[in-house]
Amino acid sequence: MAELIVYGLVLGSIISLGAIGLTLVYGIIRFANFAHGDFLSAGAYIALFLVTGLLAWIGVPDNTFGAISIGWRMLIAFPVSMLIVGCVAIVLDRTLYRKLRLKRSGPVIFAMSSLGAAFILRMIIYILWGADSLFYRPGVLRPAILLPLGIKIRPDQILIVLVVCLLISSLHLFLQRTKMGKAMRATADNMELARVSGIDTERIIIWTWGIGGALAAAGGILYGIDVQLQPDMGWKFLIPLFAATILGGIGNMYGALVGGLVIGVVQQVSTAFLLPTYKPAVAFMVMIIILLIRPKGIFGGKKE
């Protein structure tokens, strides 16, 4: 059981990365982006292209660092992929969602459009990489470290949690300390007042999409390192992402962080009683229960 909880925290930290992006975007433009899961896949596959394609081709060495399964190639591919997916998110907003905003489209139109965007992203991945599961480093199984309580954990999993901690602390500092970060929070609070204060809210929206996309890409890559890459991985993440977001209170970044960890742990622990294939169903159940008993989430979210 202790081991399942630890694995749950690893999975949960990845869910948190996606959920934070989802909740930031919701906080600013009040819209649930169903394409967010596929930002995770896009990030994972762009990193795959860089690691096994481009960076291999230009001759970046293939060796790995110590006990972990990543090396120079991934070290470069990771931030580059985050950057690219951040740009993809921004382009999607500029070419699609912004047009709908200007037309004052209803929530159903936004939902269907983002669902469409999700399909397009996923199909592009199917076309380029096929339907098989892929790995960043095929056939390499690193030995696990034995922790107290009989917990076996791979060095990669420790690395994943550390990377998530680093990204989330950076985001926290950005939001709390920098002028741009504070303006982002102000815009999420009250967009009209932000405009009245001289904040260019369109620029804030661009930043928000960029950060959301980049964090999702990071989550996708980390999942790829931990497990494997599948074209529908992001799609499968969508329900846990929404469950985590709702659990933490929609629009609340710190809630999404905790929500992600809770959903991760609940999903992993459920495998002690249920088949692992039921994991998304477990997340869905948690989401429904929260919506029924505490729709504003455990920490309370943004008021509509």
Q: Which residues make up the interface to other proteins (CB under 8 A)?
A: 179, 182-183, 185-186, 188-190, 192-201
Based on CB atoms, which residue is closest to other proteins, 133 or 190? 190
Based on CB atoms, which residue is closest to other proteins, 62 or 200? 200
**Least gap, CB of 78 to other proteins (angstroms):** 31
Based on CB atoms, which residue is closest to other proteins, 40 or 253? 253
Distance CA 79, CA 217 (A): 9
**Least gap, CB of 268 to other proteins (angstroms):** 32
**Least gap, CB of 179 to other proteins (angstroms):** 7
Contact (Cβ atoms closer than 8 angstroms) between residue 234 and residue 40: yes
Based on CB atoms, which residue is closest to other proteins, 175 or 239? 175
Report the first-to-last Cα separation within the chain, whole angstroms: 40
Based on CB atoms, which residue is closest to other proteins, 236 or 296? 296
**Least gap, CB of 101 to other proteins (angstroms):** 15
User: C-alpha 262: how far from its chain's center?
Assistant: 15
**Least gap, CB of 19 to other proteins (angstroms):** 18
User: C-alpha 81: how far from its chain's center?
Assistant: 13
**Least gap, CB of 301 to other proteins (angstroms):** 11
> Residue 166 — φ and ψ, nearest 5°?
-60, -45
Based on CB atoms, which residue is closest to other proteins, 142 or 182? 182
Using the Cα atoms of residue 265, residue 137, residue 71 and residue 144 in order, give the sign of their dihedral.
Answer: positive
Contact (Cβ atoms closer than 8 angstroms) between residue 60 and residue 72: yes
Based on CB atoms, which residue is closest to other proteins, 182 or 294? 182
**Least gap, CB of 203 to other proteins (angstroms):** 9
User: Among candidates 243, 227, 233, 223, which has minimal Cα distance to 289?
Assistant: 243
